[in-house]
Amino acid sequence: MNEELDQIFSDKLFHYIKDGIIVMNASRKIVKANRAANRLIGWGIGEHVPYCSYCEQREVKPGEERCYLMANKGEIPYFSSEMPTFGEYLLDVEMSNVMIYHDEKANEKYYLLVLRDQTLKKKEEEARISKKMIHKLTEAKEAEHKRLSQELHDGVGQSLFSISIAMDNIMAHINDVTLHDYIDDVRQELGQVMGDVKYYSQALRPKSLDQLGLIATVDSLIKSMKTQLPNTTCHFHHNFDERLHPMIEINVYRVIQEALHNMMKYAQAKQVSIILEKNNDTLYVQIMDDGVGFNIKEKKSGLGLMHMKERISQLKGTTKIESSPGKGAKIKLEIPLEENESDEYINR
């Protein structure tokens, strides 16, 4: 009974293990193969295992075994290369090969070849590198925004202010009423330009974000929104005032900024609510409005929503967007605080 169970379990393990397993003889003829091996390379019992792309091209000495793994008699534990499949498609695999049985009577050696598909691992590595690159690009963009904001505020803004003072001095020495009126019109236009410069400086990178933190900056953003939409009521609730990690603050701020921008542009909302709460080392953010809403399926390709999700994904957080026509919109964020504090890419 135990032998029967052992046989059943052996067969189960052989066929259900995810790595491809092939038993072949010295001439590479397949004696046994599990389902994973058949799925990976497509070669069946009685057929010959082809050489990988490396072994096919490598230089060999007279009498030397072409297979790199067999030539090293199992001393190479793992080897990565490309294996031709049944359809002659090259598959990235990690291989190991060891002799498992020597039939001395028939003078036949049998080898166990294990194949592990590296395609998924390669895609995961590409995704990791891509995510890291996007993160670095986001950091670089925010640093450039900060520099430009500083230039606008301290450079262009101060120069315009100096021009305004100079015009005041000029007006004090001019008695011509007509010229006074003209200069006054110019001063009003200059005041408008100074206001625009201040607005663009704030939009690029609010100084309050670096000086006072997320809560104060969101509060300032809401006040700015109220001047543009006086008939819209905004409720802001938070259960903390302390500073968060700089990358959390800037990315959460950008998401709230984008959400309010979309709301002002499209939603026609009368009530807006923003909630920021810290609980058990997690930051919860919720942005809601009672506007016209939208169809989630139709908005999946929207760059604004995609950028929101990407920013929060960089913080190892999750984004959930709920909306339907006539039902308003709700954005929920969950961001782990401890992980971001120790993240090698975020912590600078």
Hey, where are the domains in the chain? Answer: 2-117, 123-205, 209-348
In the chain, which residues have pLDDT < 50? 1, 301, 344-348
CATH of domain 209-348: 3.30.565.10
Asked if 114 and 77 touch (Cβ cutoff 8 Å), the reply is no
Side-by-side strand order, sheet with 79-84? 30-33, 20-25, 108-117, 90-103, 79-84
User: Would you state the pLDDT for residue 187?
Assistant: 82
Q: Compute CA distances 49 → 53, 66, 94, 316, whole Å.
A: 12, 13, 15, 43
Task: Name the DSSP letter for residue 344.
Answer: T
Q: What is the pLDDT of residue 11?
A: 67
Q: What pLDDT is stored for residue 299 in this prediction?
A: 54
CB atoms within 10 A of CB 151: 13
Q: Is 288 helix (H, G, I), strand (E, B) or coil?
A: strand
Return the pLDDT at 10.
62
| Nearest Cα residue to 120 out of 87, 94, 152 | 94
Q: What is the pLDDT of residue 166?
A: 82
Q: What is the pLDDT of residues 2-35, one digit of tens each?
A: 666 556 556 666 777 888 899 999 899 999 998 8
**256 torsion bin: left (phi>0), alpha (psi -120 to 50), beta (else):** alpha
What pLDDT score does 18 carry? 83
Contacts of 330 (CB under 8 A, 6+ apart): 286, 287, 288, 321, 322, 323
pLDDT in tens, 121-177: 777 777 778 777 877 777 777 777 777 766 776 678 778 878 888 888 888 888 887
> Measured at the alpha carbon of residue 293, what is the angle toward residues 290 and 297, in degrees to the nearest 5?
150
Give the pair of three-digit tokens for residue 111. Answer: 């080898």
pLDDT, residue 275, reads 96
According to the model, what pLDDT value does residue 346 have? 42
Confidence at residue 282, expressed as pLDDT on a 0 to 100 scale: 95
Helix 119-150 and helix 246-262, axial crossing angle in degrees, nearest 10: 80
pLDDT of residue 302: 56
- What is the CATH architecture of 2-117? 2-Layer Sandwich (3.30)
